[in-house]
Amino acid sequence: MILVGHCPNSTGLQFYNPTNGTLVSSIGYKIQHNITSGANFGLKYQPGVFIYRLDESTSIFAPQFSLDSSVHVNTHSPPVTATIIGLPTYDRPDIYTVAFRDASVAK
């Protein structure tokens, strides 16, 4: 099982079973600090693939634009093209960092 957090309905912890895709809550568990649970299930870590929004709705937070995308920024007149160099975070889901052709950077 993979520990995912505290159970919302008890004092136990919530675990994910990747074999059958279920969540299980338990107050009786043993954490094995020397074993990575993902490797136990044949899962490999792939950085930057998914960003999860950990809130009540357990929805997945996926930025609308990816790194190195070209976007039009409307804060200038006329709008100019910029490159995304920083993605939004869970705390600031609407803020991208962009670089303009003149090497200036904005959020």
Condensed to tens digits (0 to 9), the pLDDT of residues 42-94 reads: 766 555 444 444 554 555 557 788 888 888 887 656 778 889 898 887 677 77
Residue 62 maps to a domain:
no
Task: Identify whether 57 is part of a domain.
Answer: no
Q: Which residue has the higher pLDDT, 24 or 2?
A: 24
Any domain includes 45: no
SS3 40: helix
The fraction of the chain above a pLDDT of 90, given in percent, is 0
Domain total of the chain: 2
Domain-located, residue 26: yes
The answer to whether residue 60 is domain-embedded is no
Ranges 24-28, 46-50, 96-100: which has the least confidence: 46-50
Q: Which domain holds residue 8?
A: 2-40
**Residue 75 placed within a domain:** yes
Q: Is residue 96 part of a domain?
A: yes
Q: For residue 7, is it within any domain? A: yes
* Average pLDDT rounded to a whole number, residues 18-35: 82
**What pLDDT sits at residue 51?**
46
- Burial class (CB within 10 angstroms; exposed 0-12, middle 13-18, buried 19+) of 87: middle
